Amino acid sequence: MPTYEYKCKDCSLIFSLQQPIWARLKGATCPGCGGQNTERLISRFTSKSDDSCGHGGSSGPFC
């Protein structure tokens, strides 16, 4: 399930929420103030990589 970041326009809280893809169209309720006046932010994403080459990070398609 994707994680989306939102910002509350009432209290300025930035929070993350795991939602099904279709639910992002509904928006989100702020966990800080309970307001519905939120906007979804553009955020970076991370992915889990297979470290089968023994490196600490991603080395591309080759070891």
- Under the banding of pLDDT at 50, 70 and 90, the label for residue 52 is low
Distance between CA 18 and CA 24 in Å, rounded? 9
Q: Are 63 and 51 in contact (CB under 8 A)?
A: no
Q: Is the pTM here over 0.85, yes or no?
A: no
Count of CB atoms situated within 10 Å of the CB of 62: 5
Q: What is the pLDDT of residue 21?
A: 85
Query: Over 80: is that where the pLDDT of 5 sits?
Result: yes
